[in-house]
Structure 1
Amino acid sequence: MSATLDSPETIPQLFVEAWNRRDARQIAALFDPDGEFVNVTGLWWHRREDIERAHDYGLRTIFNNSTLTLTRTKTKYLANHIAVVHAKVKLTGQTPTSEVPNPGARHTIFTFVVHKLSDGWSCAAAQNTDIVPAMETHIRDEKNQLHAVDYRRSTQ
């Protein structure tokens, strides 16, 4: 890793750097041994090994040509040794599918819950949330499909 874990903000920075190198092991190393990670679709991994395995698969299959760009971070200290870091990122280059041959850029917000150890900061838990512009929530239809909706716009 090119930086040390000397501040909470280094967690998202190093996450992005490891992602762009396709280094699932280094992503997982940012987490506690019993770390938690929830991805954008709600898949939930409960240990560093599970986080590594899931990211290894994703970086080889779904995101093998992708680039993450960190666009903003905001840190809220809960105590001198505990913080919540929100990181806005841009994802480009996701692997195409037959349904979506030219995937566009996605923007997400990561929430990292971090704490200071004797040798630097570590992540206890993280969640990644897709940003869906101009939408308020999701709704499930009769075919069990999720749709982003905006209740401010009348559908009647």
Structure 2
Amino acid sequence: MGGATPLADPADMPRAFADAWETRDGARIAALFTEDADFVNVTGLWWHGRAAIARPHDEALKSFFAQTRLRIGRSECRMLGPDAAIVRARVHMTGQIAPDGSAADARQTILSFVLTRGTDGWLAVSGQNTEISPGMETHLAGAQGPKPVTYRKPGGP
């Protein structure tokens, strides 16, 4: 497992994440995090520690995410003090392979990171990837698993 790759500016995190993604090397993604960081993926899997962040990213990037491309959209950095920041970015992903081997539809998520400034620069202490379900308000559990739903009536607010 490689070492850390601190950033000069916390606002650089979304681009750095996408650049690391393009290398198809989970260790490059994990290098953007502190050794004791955590990451929650879109299905709620919660990984603790740099090695645990690297492993599933590496496996996915070499299989069903092998042809994916990330496009960073709107991004915001909010300083929480001189040594802490939260960064969020909309991400558009294309190229995922479905379990049956077919091309999956494009997806949109929001990546959220909490970063801390160390002596060498900024690293994430936490990351979370949240799936965007346009027009939906929540998820509803069911026999087939959770699905996004809305309680709004057609034509209503």
What's the TM-score once normalised by structure 2's chain length?
Answer: 0.90
CA distance in structure 1 between the partners assigned to 2:89 and 2:145 by the alignment: 28
How far off is 1:144 after superposition?
Answer: 4.7
Counterpart residue number, 1:101? 102
C-alpha RMSD of the superposition:
1.6
Corresponding residue for residue 134 of structure 2? 133
Q: Name the residue aligned to 2:89.
A: 87
The unaligned stretches of length 5 or more in structure 1 are: none
Within 5 Å, give how 1:26-105 maps onto structure 2. Answer: 26-98=28-100, 101-105=102-106
CA–CA distance in structure 2, aligned partners of residues 49 and 153 of structure 1: 46
Give the TM-score of the pair, scaled to structure 1. Answer: 0.91
**Number of residue pairs aligned between Structure 1 and Structure 2:** 150
1:111 matched to 2:123: no
Give the AA of the match of 2:146: L
SS at match of 1:10: helix
User: What do residues 132-152 of structure 1 show as CA deviations (whole Å, max 9, x unaligned)?
Assistant: 0000000012x1521110011
Cα offsets for 1:73-94 (capped at 9, x unmatched): 1011110110000011110000
Q: Is the 8 A contact 2:41 2:130 kept in 1?
A: yes
Counterpart amino acid of residue 95 in structure 1: I
TM superposition outliers: structure 1 runs of 4+ over 3 Å: none
